[in-house]
A and B are shown apart, each in its own frame.
Chain A
Amino acid sequence: MADTALTAPLRSPLSQVAERLAAVTRTSGGAIRLAELPFLAQVDVRLDAKGAAADAVGLALGLRLPLEPNTVVRAGESNVLWLGPDEWLLIGPPDSERDLESRIREAAGDEPVSVTDVSAQRTTILVTGPRARDLLAHGCALDLHPRAFGSGRCAQTTLGRTQVVLVARDEPRAGFWVLVRSSFSGYLAEWLLDAATEYA
């Protein structure tokens, strides 16, 4: 029994709707693309932005923790999102959460720092295509115009009737990441699919 479990594939929250999400590319004529980016490493980091740990952690990760609210700093495969004045969300490639956590803890040393693996807490939905912004505007009260929410911006807000973390990716054409609590992801996927109907 244990053997079968070892080989069982991981199941992401939106694995059951992956095909329907993919079909939007075709039905919208390429105007909108939707896809789950499953299993990304996500680590919540809490520390005093003015303390010694901030620089040390940044150094260990090869980046500077963003101090400007609602911005993202990218380094290689990792992105760090500002979530609060003492809180960041580190997003890395799948399976890197343990490595990230230990690097942060080591770098912080004796400084008080809280590191929490939240990789499964939220899943990530990629929303891209020429009409991506219009699609999100159906349910997001934030101004998503590039003047207000351009590359490198992120925000915790609501989309439809659920809370999300929204990330404008580095290039405008790369669209948005929508990070949503896993338990709400089924709802949000249905919401996005319904909103995308318009762009057929």
Chain B
Amino acid sequence: MLLIPCPWCGPRDEAEFHYGGQAHVPYPEDPSALTDEEWARYLFFRDNPKGPFAERWSHAAGCRRWFNAVRDTATNEILTVYPPGEERPATPGPRPLRSVCAGVLPPVESDHETCSPPTAVHAAEPLQDRMGRGGDGAASISDSAAGQPFRHPTRGRIHRDAPLTFTFDGTEYQGLRGDTLASALLANGVIATGTSIRLGRPRGIFSAGVEEPNAVVQIEAPFPEPMLLATTVELYDGLVASSLSGQGRLTGEPDPARYDAVHAHCDLLVVGAGPAGLAAAAAAARSGARVVLADDQPESGGSLLGTAEHLDWVADVTGQLDNAPEVRVLRRTTVFGHYDDNHLLAVERRTNHLGADAPGYVSRERVWRIRARRVVLATGAHERSLAFADNDRPGVMLAASARTYVNRYGVLPGRHAVVLTTNDSAYAAALDLAAAGVDIAAIVDTRPAPGEWAERARQAGIDVMAGHAVTGTKGGARLTAVTVARYGESGGQREFTADLLLVSGGWNPVAHLFSQSGGTLRYHEELGSFVPDTCRQAVEVAGSASGVLDPAEVLAQGAAAGARAVEAEGFSPRQPSLPPVAARPRPTPAMHVYAVPGAPDSPRFVDLQRDVTVDDLARAAGAGLRSVEHTKRYTTAGTANDQGKTSGVLAGGVVADLLGVDVSALGTTTFRPPYTPVSFAALAGRDRGALSDPVRTTALHEWHVAHGALFENVGQWKRPWYYPRDGEDREAAVLRECAAARDGVALMDASTLGKIDVQGPDASVFLDRLYTNMMSTLKVGMIRYGVMCRPDGMVFDDGTVIRLAQNHFLVTTTTGNAAAVLDWMEEWQQTEWPGLKVHCTSVTEQWATVALVGPRSRDVLGALAPQLAVGKDDFPFMAWRETTVAGIGARVCRISFSGELAYEINVSPWEALTLWQSLHEAGSPYGITPYGTETMHVLRAEKGYPIIGQDTDGTVTPQDLGMGWAVSKKKPDFIGRRSYARADTVRPDRKHLVGLLPVDPAVFLPEGTHLVADSELPAPPVPMLGHVTSSYRSAALGRTFALALIKGGRDRIGERLYAPVGDRLVPVTVASPVLYDPEGARRDG
């Protein structure tokens, strides 16, 4: 959502604005002096440059002022705004691309005495769980919580005093509060969670977060929901879920939950509450800046929850943030889209984790629409997998995820593990798992010299196989063995018995939001992946999302980014206290490995969710596809609902190897919102059911409802369609209502007609330019029908113009077009004719209007308006009078849209019901009948009055409608005039509005029916002569009839044409559009 700076109101969401096309295309001074070609150029030709472009905009939902803007069409930036009529100013270029992963030194002085230097090195500590209890490798796990054989007795942040019962694939299990569905399944020894979509291979829990490709499950109860990640579903009591083979099932039940949205504004939005995000928020908090910190987990900490490091610091900072004024911490909130002008969308899962206990009045999910002055993206990194033979068996798991299960959830994902890695990070995982009691058979490292981390592992008694790789796995429902050989060789294989294989192929910074924001990525040599580079928006990236993996550096970088952001907004940041980071083994560079050689007949999966293998990518490369975008579409790699979070860069690396190019040359596929799947219900929010679209009602709506009206939607208005009596169908009701209007008296609520008050010394000049006919000659007290056209001469709207005083008019518009007509008037007045002293104000709802129609309408009105002389000479057609009707101040207009004697009575809507009831009562001796839009349509069609938008479609001139009489020959110019001299508008075969009478008076022509010349269809293409625009049964004519646009129609009156209806060709006779009372005898009663 762009922010567009209204010159008056300041920056507002683009949704408040209306686009008006290219600026500086002035209406020609004398259109009649232009050649057809010059006029056509003005009408139809506009520039379409790449780069800065001057455009007209209107702040339509705000101050309604038109202005010009220079927008860069390539970047969408608004470079400047200026008043209409002014020269286009020189504009600066677009915002520069800025580097977004700036240094770590904060430009602030510390005022925090207790702060520790972020890089302080302390003595090495043994790895501990968060409770400070040493990870006792010998800890017994046999008798842990309630039959959860893989639950560690002490580790984890789960609540051991809060057992929960859940069901998976029909079996009941126990878990603990704080578990995810995945961790609870693992605690029960369940790792397989379904079968793959294409090959049907068993698949298991692969990760511990949003990147999960395998554990996609169907929630069955308390409310059915398809394709949720077991790794992100928080466990609750009574949860029932089942495994899927790649595809979920939508429920047919309506969702009873509530969903809503909130708009939020802040100086700084920090995305991610891991070490970098917390440090950023801590630096910004208490500066006075408005800060939002959003994180998808139920508690802060990010990766620290999985590594069990610095959790005291996490708790401290979180406590400070929770208590800081102007700081909002959004938990369970996934920021899923990053749009223009730092507009970000997030979804907060508010009650999902409560299961059946969720209170009904609280929205289940909430979409946050956040407008941030500055953004720090601390979105972390996802571990990358490796493509080795049979790498998809349940029991193969990302190394850091396994560490998370052990440390955060107190769950052992297996008992006997092999670790496959290309980098240092898996060692810490292996050490934590070993400390928790998992037997680590070997760490298989592709690097020939893994360095200090390997040394540390060996000291802990773990066998490290340098320069080796996994060449295959065995197992069925679960992994049973892992085969290892020297990297790149197939001989000398060793087999390990294992139920768990940890994999680390390196790290991919989570650059999704950054990329969506318009940022560019660059290849990071050390990571072998892509990291944020430059961006035009006010965005910084901190922590592992920027490619930094060293913990101390991550913290310092986050703090610096947060400080810089609020300082740029004029606040004074503080140096937050950061935890001391223990010295670590010296890092050894990672080795960039993507596909690992293995047995030729064993698949090596790249995208687990789409079942895409290295062989599939090889086929794509063999077919000549070189771009990752093409490979993605050819193989579907990266297109599943995980959107390739673990597989994207892996696929790129494999393709690069296949093509023999560097992975940096291939880049990534495009990141598009949403980052994770978002339910339609959440996006719809409150805008569903009765609130899906505003319903506009008149002051008489309740009467219509109470009297059984059926309603028709006209724009957003609810208009009575017809009022069926007991047992009546539509046809019968409409025939009855029509008969009442033609023979007695009937009344209709016409309040929905648009009404615009036009005042000023130049009001009549203004209207003369807008309408095709002359308005300046209208006398005060009188009314004139008018037609408005576009410059191309096509009818745009019609209505009446009432002259209230010399400089004061009231114009009416069609119901659906009221806003468009007012905008049209404002556009011409403000941009082309600013010198005209005239103002337009909508008064649509200021007046309620009742149409009183029929030969007895004069009797009814006369009875209620004693001061009004109602005789036809005293109150002639197209005159208006100020009077009281039923004691209510009223403006009565003698207008007819039916050909009958009729009045439109305008009163205050506050008194409309009283008027209506009085009319109803006074008319009862004459059988007064309320009627709706259907009857109105029949009555007007019988008289050949067109409805703009039904009988016209933007290609119809007034002349086409037979209303050449409404086009002034005297005025020097008006909008549309020049176009009536164009060759196209004087063609004799233009479509004219005519009447159609089916030869069989009972045959009804559906609207839209085409018309052809012959009684037998010729071979295609069949020449079409036109189509039916309106079709009705007429009580007055005693037959069916229609209006149609027919080529050269007025010259065909009396001719026989044919209308294909179903299999039949229905013969019809072309007629004048005025089928009833052509002499106009009934108008005066």
Chain A positions within 8 Å of B, measured between CB atoms, are: 1-6, 8, 10-13, 16, 39, 44, 46, 69-70, 83-87, 112, 114-122, 134, 137-143, 145, 148, 155-158, 160-163, 181-184, 186-188, 190-191, 194-195, 197-198, 200
Binds A, one of B20-28, B416-424, B675-683, B691-699: B691-699
Chain B positions within 8 Å of A, measured between CB atoms, are: 1, 8-10, 12-13, 15-16, 61-65, 258, 260-265, 290, 361-363, 369, 371, 686-687, 690-691, 693-699, 701-702, 717, 752, 757, 759-761, 837, 839, 841-847, 863-864, 866, 884, 886-888, 908-915, 918, 921-922
Contact B686 A5 (CB under 8 A): no
- For the complex, give the distance between the alpha carbons of A83 and B63 in Å: 6
Partner of A191, one of B369, B686, B717, B864: B686
Which A residues are CB-close (under 8 A) to B61? 156-158, 163
Which B residues are CB-close (under 8 A) to A160? 686-687, 691, 694
Given A11-B910, A121-B843 in contact, is the A157-B265 Cβ separation under 8 Å? no
Given A85-B8, A183-B844 in contact, is the A141-B15 Cβ separation under 8 Å? yes
**Interface of chain A, main secondary structure:** mixed
Contact B888 A183 (CB under 8 A): no
Contact B887 A121 (CB under 8 A): no
Given A5-B888, A158-B61 in contact, is the A69-B691 Cβ separation under 8 Å? no
- Among residues of B, the one whose C-beta sits closest to the C-beta of A46 is B839
Contact A46 B910 (CB under 8 A): no
Given A6-B887, A44-B841, A121-B846 in contact, is the A139-B697 Cβ separation under 8 Å? no
Not counting A69-B9, A84-B65, A195-B260, a sample of 11 additional A-B residue pairs whose C-beta atoms are within 8 angstroms of each other reads: A2-B864, A11-B912, A11-B913, A84-B63, A114-B760, A114-B839, A120-B845, A138-B263, A158-B16, A186-B697, A195-B686
- Among residues of A, the one whose C-beta sits closest to the C-beta of B6 is A69
Contact A156 B62 (CB under 8 A): yes
Contact B759 A118 (CB under 8 A): no
Contact B371 A143 (CB under 8 A): yes
- Among residues of A, the one whose C-beta sits closest to the C-beta of B694 is A187
**Interface of chain B, main secondary structure:** mixed
- For the complex, give the distance between the alpha carbons of A80 and B686 in Å: 33
- For the complex, give the distance between the alpha carbons of A56 and B908 in Å: 30
Contact B697 A183 (CB under 8 A): yes
Contact A138 B261 (CB under 8 A): yes
Which B residues are CB-close (under 8 A) to A200? 361
| A/B interface sample: 20 pairs, CB < 8 A | A2-B864, A2-B884, A11-B912, A16-B702, A69-B10, A114-B760, A114-B841, A118-B846, A121-B842, A143-B265, A157-B62, A160-B686, A161-B691, A181-B844, A182-B909, A186-B697, A187-B696, A191-B686, A198-B362, A200-B361
- For the complex, give the distance between the alpha carbons of A95 and B866 in Å: 25
Given A69-B9, A112-B761, A137-B263 in contact, is the A183-B717 Cβ separation under 8 Å? yes
- For the complex, give the distance between the alpha carbons of A137 and B266 in Å: 13
- Among residues of B, the one whose C-beta sits closest to the C-beta of A110 is B761
Contact B13 A141 (CB under 8 A): yes
- Among residues of B, the one whose C-beta sits closest to the C-beta of A10 is B910
B862 to chain A, nearest CB (A): 12
Given A5-B888, A160-B686 in contact, is the A69-B63 Cβ separation under 8 Å? yes
Contact B887 A13 (CB under 8 A): no
- For the complex, give the distance between the alpha carbons of A13 and B562 in Å: 49
Which A residues are CB-close (under 8 A) to B687? 160-161
Contact A114 B759 (CB under 8 A): yes
Contact A5 B699 (CB under 8 A): no
Given A1-B922, A181-B845 in contact, is the A120-B909 Cβ separation under 8 Å? yes
- Among residues of B, the one whose C-beta sits closest to the C-beta of A148 is B265
Which A residues are CB-close (under 8 A) to B918? 1-2, 4-5
- For the complex, give the distance between the alpha carbons of A162 and B913 in Å: 25
- For the complex, give the distance between the alpha carbons of A139 and B15 in Å: 13
Interface centre among B1, B752, B909, B918 (most CB of A within 10 A): B909
- Among residues of A, the one whose C-beta sits closest to the C-beta of B848 is A120
B861 to chain A, nearest CB (A): 12
Contact A5 B13 (CB under 8 A): no
- For the complex, give the distance between the alpha carbons of A8 and B606 in Å: 77
Identify the 5 closest CB pairs spanning chains A and B, nearest first: A5-B887, A114-B759, A183-B696, A114-B839, A46-B839
Contact A155 B9 (CB under 8 A): yes
Which A residues are CB-close (under 8 A) to B9? 69-70, 155-156
- For the complex, give the distance between the alpha carbons of A25 and B825 in Å: 43
- For the complex, give the distance between the alpha carbons of A137 and B10 in Å: 19
Which A residues are CB-close (under 8 A) to B845? 120-122, 181-183
Which B residues are CB-close (under 8 A) to A116? 757, 759, 841, 843
- Among residues of A, the one whose C-beta sits closest to the C-beta of B288 is A147
B697 to chain A, nearest CB (A): 5
- For the complex, give the distance between the alpha carbons of A116 and B62 in Å: 19
- Among residues of B, the one whose C-beta sits closest to the C-beta of A163 is B61
- For the complex, give the distance between the alpha carbons of A114 and B763 in Å: 11
Which B residues are CB-close (under 8 A) to A46? 759, 839, 841
Contact B909 A13 (CB under 8 A): yes
Contact A194 B691 (CB under 8 A): yes
- Among residues of A, the one whose C-beta sits closest to the C-beta of B808 is A114
Contact A198 B260 (CB under 8 A): yes
- For the complex, give the distance between the alpha carbons of A39 and B10 in Å: 31
- Among residues of A, the one whose C-beta sits closest to the C-beta of B845 is A182
- For the complex, give the distance between the alpha carbons of A1 and B863 in Å: 9
- For the complex, give the distance between the alpha carbons of A143 and B911 in Å: 38
Which B residues are CB-close (under 8 A) to A186? 695, 697, 701
- For the complex, give the distance between the alpha carbons of A126 and B922 in Å: 39
Which B residues are CB-close (under 8 A) to A155? 9, 62
- For the complex, give the distance between the alpha carbons of A158 and B13 in Å: 10
Given A1-B886, A2-B887 in contact, is the A190-B690 Cβ separation under 8 Å? yes
Contact A190 B698 (CB under 8 A): no
- Among residues of B, the one whose C-beta sits closest to the C-beta of A182 is B845
Contact A137 B262 (CB under 8 A): yes
- Among residues of B, the one whose C-beta sits closest to the C-beta of A161 is B694
Which A residues are CB-close (under 8 A) to B922? 1
Given A114-B841, A118-B843, A158-B61 in contact, is the A5-B914 Cβ separation under 8 Å? yes
Which B residues are CB-close (under 8 A) to A141? 1, 12-13, 15, 263, 369, 371
- For the complex, give the distance between the alpha carbons of A14 and B358 in Å: 33
A31 to chain B, nearest CB (A): 13
- For the complex, give the distance between the alpha carbons of A160 and B716 in Å: 14
Which B residues are CB-close (under 8 A) to A140? 263
Which B residues are CB-close (under 8 A) to A142? 12, 263
Contact A85 B844 (CB under 8 A): no
Which A residues are CB-close (under 8 A) to B261? 138-139
Given A1-B921, A112-B761, A116-B759 in contact, is the A8-B911 Cβ separation under 8 Å? yes
B652 to chain A, nearest CB (A): 38
- For the complex, give the distance between the alpha carbons of A12 and B912 in Å: 10
Which A residues are CB-close (under 8 A) to B886? 1-2, 5
- For the complex, give the distance between the alpha carbons of A145 and B325 in Å: 13
- For the complex, give the distance between the alpha carbons of A197 and B759 in Å: 44
Given A2-B886, A137-B262, A181-B845 in contact, is the A69-B8 Cβ separation under 8 Å? yes
Which A residues are CB-close (under 8 A) to B265? 143, 145, 148
Partner of A117, one of B760, B846, B888, B915: B846
Contact B887 A191 (CB under 8 A): no
A188 to chain B, nearest CB (A): 8
B76 to chain A, nearest CB (A): 18
Which B residues are CB-close (under 8 A) to A6? 887
Which B residues are CB-close (under 8 A) to A5? 886-888, 911, 914-915, 918
Which B residues are CB-close (under 8 A) to A83? 63
Given A121-B843, A139-B686 in contact, is the A187-B695 Cβ separation under 8 Å? yes
- Among residues of A, the one whose C-beta sits closest to the C-beta of B847 is A120
- For the complex, give the distance between the alpha carbons of A137 and B844 in Å: 28
- For the complex, give the distance between the alpha carbons of A120 and B915 in Å: 16
- For the complex, give the distance between the alpha carbons of A116 and B841 in Å: 7
Contact B760 A112 (CB under 8 A): yes
Which B residues are CB-close (under 8 A) to A8? 911, 914
